[in-house]
């Protein structure tokens, strides 16, 4: 389960859909049935009106039985913005189902947003693909990716999304605002160790108390109930069959469907599977250690990586050992944009390693980051630390813990977890019994033994794994396939978690999924895996290390604050005006309001503004053209000459300041020119100060 719930994560508050009161409409199949019934009724009414004498009238027929059960679905606005240009392809609604089965509280319901993403094909196949993601996260947060990058599914089929009950956009959402990031920040630093654990226990107690006061039955948010919701949606939408695609923890839900609700399942794709028979907390430390070993081996086999980092294993061990004694510190932006110090001890670094290994981008930069940390450059971890803090709040903690504490933790042995920590140094970093302490606070009844039994099914199933995945071992997929009568396992050594999902990295796994959907019984060829290239590692040959570009993008470009964004734009416009003014004074004397100008000042102004504007333009070009992943760590190494531009601008500005001081002391030049030149001098100084404040002069 991705290492189990992240106990520092946040959850979003309940989000009520704007379209909850939208007109209820029946799916097309039901509407067609309704039209047919109406025709029958109309024909009967017309027949009753034909001239027949009362004595000869036929007995009044019994009224037709009409199903007045309201539809469980209603059209509604999407809970997230629909990607530009895709509005005609995405239709959203809400599925309303009972919170619990039976008669315990028939009035309580849950409202689950759903979406139908229409296929790009004019004649799509009749069986759509349902996408299921990690517990506690929202599949709607992946809508843009699905529309633009899931061609393996959308080219031939519609795609169905359904928010899991308790998820961020469901109503109710199992929201725990008590675990917001700002509750774990004190004195400008993120809490760690015992202080963080104590705060977490208090927060979990408070959250469970709040949910109980709202009448939420935590036992109703199980995987089994979530599968029933999927089946209710299939029936409401009128599909006879569909296909399931699960990624990560979503594969548990997909396998629960295979076990408990196989009707209507045509084929299933399990991407980075976590089979229910696996005791995750006992076995995941070994998976993490294997992923680290795979990274070291692949780097050693790659000439570009091995040349720069021949002793990567020693560097990693050195970083972790040093952090256990003297933790690193980096400063990131907090929830309100305030600076927050994050302490990186060996445990925090291991979590960062696991997070990076879970994505193809993270794998590419890890050797560079490890080497930089070994050299004492803690700033190399800034982007990873920021991403970790920003990720806090991306999950609905209540449903995550309800599922984990009922369906996973009770079947793991704390002593076995402790034994797993003794396997090797890397496994020891992620083996933790914290989950058992959390579940002791989060009261959830253990699920039955069947919830952890191997799934037996004859439905065609494709299991795909990645070599760098630290959360799911390829051996787990092989073991799960043994009880699946029509299963196929494809291992992709060059990929991380979600091999089908990361289509922008390599299209081979997605092509395998596409072929499988077309012919589940045969599955197509997986020969392209052998031709896949190793990750294109980024090293010091590619990167000039600096956190400045990352912080510039984070604090200015992506800030959303109009004033923060307007300031550099305003400074740039003022510099451009100063350059034009200097050119007029120098090149077109006839345009001067007065021929008397301070000696040398116009040329100094031209040089100052030109160099500063050239540097700004170069940075913009780099931001647009360079690989975004590289910019999280620094500048492209090949662009180092542009770093000289601001210093040339500073030198010219210093000369301009000196000339203007002399001009004012000696009363040199027309007063209007002195005032204008002084204003542009202050603009240049302001631009230099802005560059310095954002770390753009110390690259």
In the chain, domain spans: 280-450, 543-693
Q: What pLDDT score does 54 carry?
A: 31
Residue that has been written with the tokens 């396992």 in this structure: 489
Question: Can you list the positions of beta strands (E) in 408-529?
Answer: 461-466, 487-492
Q: What pLDDT score does 181 carry?
A: 85
**Short-list 321, 362, 323, 366, CA closest to 344:** 323
Residue 615, SS3?
helix
The two structure tokens encoding residue 305: 């990586």
- The percentage of residues in the chain with a pLDDT greater than 90, rounded to a whole number, is 65
Q: What pLDDT score does 50 carry?
A: 29
The overall average pLDDT reported for the chain is 86
The string of pLDDT tens digits covering residues 502-550 is: 988 889 999 999 999 999 998 778 999 999 999 999 999 999 998 888 8
Q: What pLDDT score does 33 carry?
A: 31
Contact 341, 190 (CB under 8 A): yes
What is the end-to-end Cα distance of the chain in Å, rounded?
40
Has residue 293 got a pLDDT over 60?
yes
The string of pLDDT tens digits covering residues 315-363 is: 999 999 999 999 999 999 888 888 999 999 999 999 899 999 999 999 9
d(CA 276, CA 656): 72
d(CA 582, CA 588): 10
Instruction: Give whole-number Cα distances, 534 to 295, 310, 329, 412, in Å.
Output: 11, 17, 32, 35
Q: What pLDDT score does 594 carry?
A: 55
Q: pLDDT band for 10, please (50, 70, 90 cuts).
A: very low
Strongest mean pLDDT among 279-293, 342-356, 377-391, 622-636: 279-293
d(CA 321, CA 340): 24
Has residue 16 got a pLDDT over 80?
no
Q: What pLDDT score does 102 carry?
A: 64
The average pLDDT across 57-72 equals 50
Has residue 384 got a pLDDT over 90?
no
**Short-list 250, 162, 209, 207, CA closest to 398:** 207
Q: What pLDDT score does 657 carry?
A: 96
Q: What pLDDT score does 558 carry?
A: 78
Segment (H or E) for 198: helix 193-213
Q: What pLDDT score does 48 carry?
A: 32
The string of pLDDT tens digits covering residues 222-267 is: 999 999 999 999 999 999 999 999 999 999 999 999 999 999 999 9
Q: What pLDDT score does 591 carry?
A: 52
Helices (H), 341-455: 346-357, 360-374, 382-391, 397-407, 414-421, 425-430, 434-441
The string of pLDDT tens digits covering residues 577-586 is: 999 999 988 8
Helix axes 397-407, 434-441, angle to 10 degrees: 110
**Strand 90-98, strand 487-492: pairing:** unpaired
A 10 A CB-CB count for 489 gives 19
Has residue 65 got a pLDDT over 60?
no
Reading phi first (left if > 0) and then psi (alpha if -120 to 50, else beta), residue 680 is in alpha
Has residue 565 got a pLDDT over 90?
no
Residue 329, SS3?
strand
Has residue 460 got a pLDDT over 60?
yes
Q: What pLDDT score does 12 carry?
A: 28
At a CB cut-off of 8 Å and minimum separation 6, what does 315 contact?
A: 309, 370, 371, 373, 374
Q: How many helices and strands (H and E) does the chain possess?
A: 25, 15
The average pLDDT across 417-423 equals 92
Has residue 36 got a pLDDT over 80?
no
**Strand 109-117, strand 90-98: pairing:** antiparallel
Least confident of 42-51, 92-101, 284-293, 429-438: 42-51
Contact 216, 45 (CB under 8 A): no
The average pLDDT across 554-559 equals 80
Question: Burial level of 589, CB count in 10 A (0-12/13-18/19+)?
Answer: exposed
Residue that has been written with the tokens 């009362």 in this structure: 54
d(CA 498, CA 361): 12
């Amino acid at each position: 389960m991705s290492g189990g719930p992240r106990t520092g994560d946040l959850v979003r508050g309940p989000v009520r859909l704007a379209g909850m009161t939208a007109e209820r409409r029946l799916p097309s199949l039901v509407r067609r049935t309704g039209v047919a019934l109406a025709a029958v009724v109309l024909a009967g009414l017309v027949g009753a009106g034909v001239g027949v004498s009362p004595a000869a009238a036929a007995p009044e027929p019994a009224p037709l039985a009409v199903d007045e059960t309201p539809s469980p679905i209603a059209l509604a606005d999407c809970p997230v913005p629909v990607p530009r240009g895709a509005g005609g392809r995405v239709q959203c609604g809400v599925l309303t189902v009972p919170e619990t089965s039976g008669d315990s509280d028939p009035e309580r319901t849950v409202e689950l947003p759903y979406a139908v993403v229409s296929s790009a094909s004019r004649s799509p196949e009749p069986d759509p693909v349902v996408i299921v993601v990690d517990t506690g996260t929202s599949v709607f947060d992946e809508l843009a990716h699905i529309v633009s990058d899931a061609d393996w599914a959308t080219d031939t089929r519609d795609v169905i999304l359904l928010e899991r009950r308790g998820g961020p956009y469901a109503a109710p959402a199992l929201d725990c605002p008590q675990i917001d990031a700002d509750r774990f920040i004190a004195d400008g630093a993120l809490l760690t160790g015992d202080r963080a654990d104590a705060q977490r226990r208090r927060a979990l107690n408070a959250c469970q108390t709040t949910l109980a006061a709202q009448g939420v039955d935590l036992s109703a948010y199980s995987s089994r109930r979530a599968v029933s919701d999927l089946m209710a949606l299939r029936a409401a939408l009128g599909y006879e069959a569909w296909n399931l695609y699960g990624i990560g923890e979503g594969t548990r839900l997909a396998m629960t469907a295979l076990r408990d609700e196989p009707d209507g399942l045509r084929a299933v794709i399990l991407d980075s599977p976590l089979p229910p028979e696996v005791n995750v907390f006992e076995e995941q430390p070994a998976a993490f250690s294997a992923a680290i070993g795979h990274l070291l081996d692949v780097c050693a086999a790659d000439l570009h990586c091995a040349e720069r980092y021949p002793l990567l294993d020693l560097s990693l061990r050195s970083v972790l050992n040093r952090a256990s004694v003297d933790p690193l510190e980096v400063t990131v932006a907090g929830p309100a944009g305030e600076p927050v110090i994050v302490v990186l001890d060996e445990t925090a670094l291991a979590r960062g390693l696991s997070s990076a290994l879970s994505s193809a981008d993270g794998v590419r930069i890890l050797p560079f980051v490890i080497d930089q940390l070994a050299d004492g450059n803690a700033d190399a971890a800034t982007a990873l630390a920021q991403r970790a803090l920003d990720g806090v709040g991306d999950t609905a903690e209540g449903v995550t813990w309800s599922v984990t504490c009922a369906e996973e933790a009770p079947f793991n042995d704390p002593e076995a977890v402790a034994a797993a920590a003794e396997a090797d140094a890397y496994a020891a970093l992620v083996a933790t019994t914290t989950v058992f302490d959390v579940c002791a606070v989060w009261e959830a009844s253990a699920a039955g033994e069947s919830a952890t039994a191997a799934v037996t099914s004859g439905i065609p199933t494709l299991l795909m794994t990645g070599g760098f995945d630290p959360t799911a071992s390829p051996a787990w997929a092989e073991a799960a396939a043994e009880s699946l009568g029509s299963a196929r396992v494809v291992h992709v050594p060059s990929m991380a978690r979600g091999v089908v999902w990361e289509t922008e990295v390599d299209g081979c796994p997605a092509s395998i999924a596409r072929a499988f959907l077309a012919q589940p019984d045969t599955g197509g060829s997986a020969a392209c895996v052998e031709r896949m290239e190793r990750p294109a590692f980024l090293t010091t040959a590619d990167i000039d290390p600096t956190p400045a570009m990352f912080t510039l993008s984070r604090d200015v470009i992506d800030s959303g604050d109009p004033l923060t964004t307007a300031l550099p734009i305003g400074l740039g416009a003022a510099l451009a005006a100063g350059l034009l003014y200097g050119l007029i004074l120098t090149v077109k004397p006839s345009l001067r309001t007065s021929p008397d100008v301070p000696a040398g000042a116009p040329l100094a102004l031209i040089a100052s503004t030109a160099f500063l504007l050239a540097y700004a333009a170069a940075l913009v070009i780099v931001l647009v053209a360079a690989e975004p992943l590289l910019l999280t760590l620094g500048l492209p190494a090949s662009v180092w000459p542009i770093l000289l531009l601001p210093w040339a601008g500073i030198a010219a500005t210093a000369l301009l300041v000196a000339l203007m001081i002399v001009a004012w002391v000696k009363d040199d030049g027309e007063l209007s020119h002195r005032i204008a030149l002084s204003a542009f001098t202050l603009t240049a100084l302001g631009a230099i100060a802005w560059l310095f404040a954002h770390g753009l002069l110390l690259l």
